[in-house]
Amino acid sequence: MRKSTSTQRFYMNMLPLHSVFAFIFFPFFSCNTEVNQSTTQINSSEKQIEQVFEKTLQDSLPVRDISKLFNSKAYLTGKIKYADYPDFVKIDKSHTTKTDEYIRADVYEAFQKMREEALKSGITLTIVSGARNFERQKGIWEAKWNGERKVEGKNLDLEVKDPNERARLILLYSSMPGTSRHHWGTDIDINSLEDAYFLTGKGKTEYAWLRENASRFGFCQVYSPKGTERPYGYEEEKWHWSYMPVASVLLQNYAENVTENDISGFTGATTAVDLKVIERYVKGINPLCK
């Protein structure tokens, strides 16, 4: 038995998520505290968001493991085939730019509700990346490692010989296989993978809407700007949003069940220990999303 985080307590009391929450958490939580409706009122003010996330209705709340699957290294490190698991569904082609893209069913339900709400403001939210297994992440990582894809304008195979430095450059935006939150099916990339897209015009409006409203549907921008509160981890990703009612539990399970010695099976894996990949990258997320 372990204690819940303040984020879990927050999502327990989010009225727009009551049906999703009941499906995921009801068998595993007990709470006699009345729901505080003010927790659904979130705007873009970071201070107000933090106050909502940190609001505690109980001093502690017992949490049981969701399932053996959630604790398995295979699930946590993406070494599964999503089509074989009933927890996952294929994303409708009208909601994604990819084909045969999967995501957790509970995450997809929450995304569709958020998408419907955004459409009322003239904003279309599209998933450009959903669940991504170990092999798919390995392809991305090794293409960069071997120089098939440039990183920061460099052919790493030719220009960066130090393994740790090569890994650090890839880790600006790409996870090592076995460490990506996309393995869990809880995280989605929305509308674009380019920061510049969200700085002007339509993209800027979409990002502002997400900052204002995504929390009401359970989503949090896990890779916020780097700074004193988030000194380690990937660079800011305005497109990457995580479904916290499930992801917060999986992050705890990952930290308890996976070590850097488990990160293997791809070129450059030996750098994981030196770079403290789990401590600095897997755990190096927006404090509001923990």
Phi, psi of 214 (to 5 degrees): -60, -35
Contact 104, 134 (CB under 8 A): no
Domain 72-289 carries which CATH code? Answer: 3.30.1380.10
Contact 163, 271 (CB under 8 A): yes
pLDDT confidence of 96, banded at 50, 70, 90? very high
Domain spans, the chain: 72-289
Predicted local confidence at residue 68, as pLDDT = 55
User: Which pLDDT belongs to residue 146?
Assistant: 98
Range 157-165, long-range pairs (CB < 8 A, 24+ positions)? 163/268, 163/270, 163/271, 164/271, 164/274, 164/275
The reported pLDDT for the residue numbered 71 is 75
For 145-160, how does the pLDDT look when each residue is reduced to its tens digit (9 = 90+)? 999 999 999 999 999 9
* pTM of the model as a whole: 0.78
Find residue 243's DSSP bridge partners: 219
- Tens of pLDDT along 145-199? 999 999 999 999 999 999 999 999 999 999 999 999 999 999 999 999 999 999 9
Cα Rg, the chain, nearest whole Å? 19
- For residue 241, which of 216, 215, 221, 211 has the smallest C-alpha distance? 221
Q: Residue 85 has what pLDDT?
A: 87
Q: How far apart are CA 80 and CA 132, in angstroms?
A: 10
Backbone angles phi, psi at 198, to 5 degrees: -90, 5
Q: What is the pLDDT of residue 86?
A: 86
Percentage of residues in the chain with pLDDT exceeding 70? 76
10 Å Cβ neighbour count for 212?
15
Q: What is the residue-averaged pLDDT of the chain? A: 83
Q: How far apart are CA 159 and CA 168, in angstroms?
A: 14
Residue 104, classed as helix, strand or coil, is: strand
The pLDDT-based confidence of 63 (bands split at 50, 70, 90) is very low
Q: What is the pLDDT of residue 69?
A: 59
Q: Is the dihedral of CA 24, 192, 133, 288 positive or negative?
A: negative
Output DSSP code: residue 279. Answer: I
Q: What is the rounded distance in angstroms from the CA atom of residue 209 to the CA atom of residue 216? A: 11
**pLDDT tens digits, one per residue of 217-251:** 999 999 999 999 999 999 999 999 999 999 999 99
